Amino acid sequence: MDLKGKVAIVTGAGSGIGYAIAERFAAAGAGICVNYLGYEEEAKALVQRLPRAIAVKADVSKTADVQAMVDATVGQLGAVDVLVNNAGVERSMPFLEIDEATWDLMLDVDLKGAFLCAQACGRVMRDTGKGGSIVNISSVHEDVAFPGFTPYCAAKGGLRMLMRNAALELAEFGIRVNNVAPGAIATPINTKTLNDPEKVAILNRIIPLSRMGKPEEVAEVALFLASDASSYVTGSTYYVDGGMVRYSQPL
């Protein structure tokens, strides 16, 4: 699996899974647009360590920011062959307490952001005639309900159908679209859980492989879907969750 001569945009690459994907794709030979909104220092430090990379600040939920990011990538790195929609936010709130701003935050970043980036990059991939690969980092919660996380689940469930529709409509341009659905991965999004041994113990019980995952383990599957090794794969979700989505309690 390699990405020699290719250029990838990785959103939310200043931390967690996005950071690991940017590192892994660079090691596989790709030029990288490291997108960030928070984690500015981390994003800039990462770019210093990679052979061919730029750091671009952009709020993926804003059309103008997204277009500026795509233009900067084409202008400075010469192309966009791969998009990884990784940027995401997660807040927990009981269903009856959810306010409009909280709902909007998750739908805007986790779902609309992925759409805006896929559309802007899809247009470039179509216009160059070279096609490309779009990989959305969704979650087991594109499928599994998660009490207390309704807007997050609604956004991730939406990302599942966004991927399926985009896969059908973009196939004619040689653009493949797939999701990677991580389970419980040790990253900053899980800080509260990681600091609570009881929660970690519950997670370990419902994960068949009995442990949380590492960002690097998600990056390997993202690399497969980004690279030509998956040339006949489109419209699919790959779970990277230690079997969590298949968890079932014996009687």
The binding site for ligand BGC (CB under 6 A) comprises: 90, 139-141, 146, 183-184, 189-190, 193
Output the smallest distance, CB 246 to ligand BGC, in A: 13
Residue closer to ligand BGC, measured from CB, 86 or 227 = 86
Output the smallest distance, CB 238 to ligand BGC, in A: 14
Residues with a catalytic annotation lie at: 152
DSSP conformational letter for 192:
H
Residues 167 and 177 sit within 8 Å (Cβ to Cβ): yes
Alpha-carbon torsion angle 133, 90, 62, 170, nearest 10 = 20
Distances from the Cα of 19 to the Cαs of 28, 84, 172, 192, in angstroms?
14, 11, 31, 20
Output the smallest distance, CB 67 to ligand BGC, in A: 28
Residue (of 170, 156, 76) closest to 114 by Cα position: 156
Residue closer to ligand BGC, measured from CB, 119 or 193 = 193
Tokens of 99: 């306010």
Residue (of 134, 130, 242, 121) closest to 178 by Cα position: 134
Residues 17 and 86 sit within 8 Å (Cβ to Cβ): yes
3-state SS, residue 60: coil
Question: Rounded to an integer, what is the distance from CA 47 to the centroid of its chain?
Answer: 19
Distance, CA of 27 to CA of 30 (rounded, Å): 7
For 50-96, where are the alpha helices, taking DSSP H only?
Answer: 63-77
User: In the complex, which residue's CB is closest to ligand BGC?
Assistant: 139
What phi and psi, each to the nearest 5 degrees, are found at residue 93? -165, 135
Residue closer to ligand BGC, measured from CB, 146 or 224 = 146
Tokens of 52: 């061919």
Residue closer to ligand BGC, measured from CB, 81 or 142 = 142
Residue closer to ligand BGC, measured from CB, 90 or 108 = 90
Output the smallest distance, CB 5 to ligand BGC, in A: 33
Residue closer to ligand BGC, measured from CB, 146 or 173 = 146
Output the smallest distance, CB 21 to ligand BGC, in A: 15
Output the smallest distance, CB 125 to ligand BGC, in A: 27
